[in-house]
Amino acid sequence: MSCLLFINEMRFTLTLTNENVQIVPINYQYPLSAWIYKVFNNADEVFSEWLHNYGYAFNGDRKFKLFTFSGIEFSNVRLINKAEGNVFLEVPSGIHKIILSFYMEEAASNFVTGLFRKQELVIAEKGVKAEFQITAVEKIPEPNFKNNMEFQCLSPIVVTIPEMQNGKLRATYLAPDYHNYSELIKENLVKRYVAAHNNVLEGVSYTNKSEEYLVDLPFDIDKWDFKVKSKPKSKLQTIKSGTTAQTKVRGFLYDFELTAPVELMRFLYYSGIGEKGSLGFGCVQKTFKVSKT
């Protein structure tokens, strides 16, 4: 039985427009994620209940939201400093783009296509509210997935390990040169893949370097090779800025080459790679090489 029987992948570009200057928080990923959830909440109540109460559970515990999004490609922007040293983006009138990417069950995906049409994208934080009109929703054609592909980041990739800091277990954010980085990328990807397909996978014992979990994969996970192909650029994003729940998340932007089963290539393309995809991390696109003449 194919593991993709009940799965439908979607990736599309939103075209945003604004007639007046808009001020956008530089840490806009969290409020943008909140806006996406708000759009979901205003959708059909069956879909909303599925997204928030079901999601994808791994071993009946942690839940994964299998969507991600790119940074906003503003047509023009400049940094400005406001009160208390806060930095914002000043966006003049124009046309801008953002990519949303989803990996979800067929039943849920039927609701998504029209959700973002004729919407107003609102990014609000720290008393600042930016508003953009969505003037087009265009589906992105699926690339030709192969066992070996090159990708570039559209948003930072986040990889962490838990470590004790001042007597508390906290996440340590890792750079791509960390000795076990490739293995951690793979483990996270496999866990999320299993969570997305647990209704059609029969459990058998699979042990990696850190833990044992149930999985019956229809491909050989040992066929894996992850190589960073450009100098990584560190990006620090503040989540829930200015609140008591404020945290900082560090990810890295870079190009990479991956050898892996085609099923995992497709999965990471639509759901994101690394952690915190639903906060807009780990969105990637295939690298298109320009032929030399």
Cα–Cα distance, 58 to 116 (Å, whole number): 29
In this structure, is the dihedral angle defined by the CA atoms of residues 57, 62, 63 and 64, taken in order, positive or negative?
Answer: negative
Q: At what angle do helices 262-271 and 181-196 cross, to 10 degrees?
A: 80
Per residue in 121-164, pLDDT tens? 999 887 789 999 999 988 898 899 999 999 999 999 999 999 88
Residues of 222-247 as b/e, b for ≥16 C-beta within 10 angstroms? eebebebeeebeebebbbebeeeeee
Cβ-count burial of 143 within 10 angstroms (0-12 exposed, 13-18 middle, 19+ buried)? middle
The residues spanned by each domain of the chain are 7-286
Cα–Cα distance, 140 to 99 (Å, whole number): 9
pLDDT at 211: 52
The pTM of this model reads 0.86
Query: Which amino acid is present at 70?
Result: S
Q: Are 128 and 43 in contact (CB under 8 A)?
A: no
Cα–Cα distance, 17 to 131 (Å, whole number): 9
Per residue in 97-130, pLDDT tens? 999 998 876 555 556 667 888 789 999 887 789 9
Assigned fold of 7-286: Alpha-Beta Plaits (3.30.70)
pLDDT at 3: 36
Per residue in 18-65, pLDDT tens? 999 999 999 999 999 989 888 877 776 666 666 665 565 555 455 667
Helical segments of 144-289, H only: 181-196, 262-271
